Amino acid sequence: MKVNVAHYGGFCFGVKRAIGIALKTAAAEATVCMLGDIVHNEEVIKQIGSAGIKRIKRLGAGERKTLLLSAHGTGTAIIDNARRRGYNIVDATCPMVKGIHKIAKKMEVAGHTIIIIGDRDHDEVHGIMGQLKTRPIVIDQVHTIPRRRISKIRKAAVVVQSTQNADNVFKIIDGIKHHIPDVQFFNTICRPTRTRQAEMRTMPLKNDVMIIIGSRNSANTQRLCQIAKSLNSRTYCIASREDIKPEWFAGARSVGVASGASTPDVIINEIVAYLRQLNK
Ligand code: SF4
């Protein structure tokens, strides 16, 4: 069985950058805390915890404490609240996400209703919402477009959660355009997501089995899984080597291995080595 590893896999630059900022901050500051997770991967979260960064549920007194903002971005009300409480703020938000914030704020000031195509429960979407004065509309699927509500809008600006599936986004945009006369669309899917999704549109067709590695709560990994599954029914989405079942590979001549943008190389390498030794 040939093991074909995706050309684009493992940490994207935004995740690498955020982890680097986190570790540097942990080494330099006495008390560093985070609301939520730096990125959505259990191994990375463990590494960040071992470096001494505490995960907190809510803000307390902030004197002599540093609040580290995650790669997914954070609403301005939370940052203002933290500053008022005395926290020193270190921002590890991915620059691509910052770019989405900037567009959404600018278009709101220009009088557009903001529509976000994304998962309403994801930190990144909360972070975008948290930049705006008026609550935006969030749409995740073409069948959840609030048609009656959006037909009252004259002009809208649409931004996209950076890790959305491009095909799904274009379907939603087509649906929105039927109801709103002036729609300005900003395709804010980030480059690492685009290249990985593009690879995922061919790789599952060239391999008998597909393995996608990443956390179940990693949005970009789950998109890769959706795309791969739609093209190859022998697609398995796993978080670690322990999830693999040898019987998945019965009769397979090739296995493709892909991974999400927050999956550490150490996990990918361990799985690739395991699959290679299955042949022996
Ligand atoms: S997936 Fe994209 S938006 Fe998210 S951290 Fe990586 S580069 Fe930034």
Domain C-terminal end among 35, 60, 93? 93
Residues 100 and 185 in one domain: yes
204-246 pLDDT, tens digit per residue, is: 999 999 999 999 989 899 999 999 999 999 999 999 999 999 9
User: Domain of 48?
Assistant: 13-93
Residues 243 and 173 in one domain: no
Residues 167 and 244 in one domain: no
220 lines ligand 1 (CB under 6 A): yes
Distances (CA, A) of 23 to 30, 47, 53, 103, 112: 12, 9, 9, 30, 39
Residues 103 and 174 in one domain: yes
pLDDT (mean) for 160-189: 96
Domain C-terminal end among 93, 108, 126? 93
Residues 68 and 138 in one domain: no
Band the pLDDT of 36: cuts 50, 70, 90.
confident
Which residue owns the Cα nearest ligand 1 atom 7? 14
Band the pLDDT of 40: cuts 50, 70, 90.
confident
pLDDT (mean) for 179-197: 96
128 lines ligand 1 (CB under 6 A): no
Residues 172 and 239 in one domain: no
48-86 pLDDT, tens digit per residue, is: 999 999 999 999 999 999 999 999 999 999 999 999 999
264 lines ligand 1 (CB under 6 A): no
* Residue 11 near residue 1 (C-beta atoms within 8 A): no
Residues 104 and 183 in one domain: yes
Per-residue pLDDT, 280? 66
* Residue 210 near residue 232 (C-beta atoms within 8 A): yes
96 lines ligand 1 (CB under 6 A): yes
Which residue owns the Cα nearest ligand 1 atom 6? 14
Told to judge if 124 belongs to the known catalytic residues of this protein, a careful annotator would answer yes
Residues 177 and 219 in one domain: no
79-118 pLDDT, tens digit per residue, is: 999 999 999 999 999 999 999 999 999 999 999 999 999 9
Averaged pLDDT score across all residues of the chain = 95
Evaluate if residue 20 carries a pLDDT over 70: yes
Q: How many domains does the chain have?
A: 3
Residues 180 and 229 in one domain: no
Residues 141 and 86 in one domain: no
- Catalytic hit among 42, 63, 108, 124: 124
Domain C-terminal end among 189, 221, 242? 189
Evaluate if residue 46 carries a pLDDT over 70: yes
Residues 32 and 61 in one domain: yes
12 lines ligand 1 (CB under 6 A): yes
C-alpha 13 to ligand 1 mean position (Å):
7
Report the alpha-carbon distance of residue 135 to residue 264 in Å, rounded.
35
Taking Cα atoms as reference points, which of 99, 108, 115 lies closest to residue 177?
115
pLDDT (mean) for 175-199: 96
Helix (H) or strand (E) holding 34: strand 32-35
Per-residue pLDDT, 278? 87
Per-residue pLDDT, 229? 98
Residue 24: give its domain's CATH number: 3.40.50.11270
C-alpha 167 to ligand 1 mean position (Å):
18
Taking Cα atoms as reference points, which of 85, 91, 94, 99 lies closest to residue 131?
99
For the chain, percent of residues with pLDDT exceeding 70: 99
Residue 145: give its domain's CATH number: 3.40.1010.20
* Residue 39 near residue 264 (C-beta atoms within 8 A): no
Residues 6 and 20 in one domain: no
162 lines ligand 1 (CB under 6 A): yes
Global pTM? Answer: 0.92
C-alpha 161 to ligand 1 mean position (Å):
10
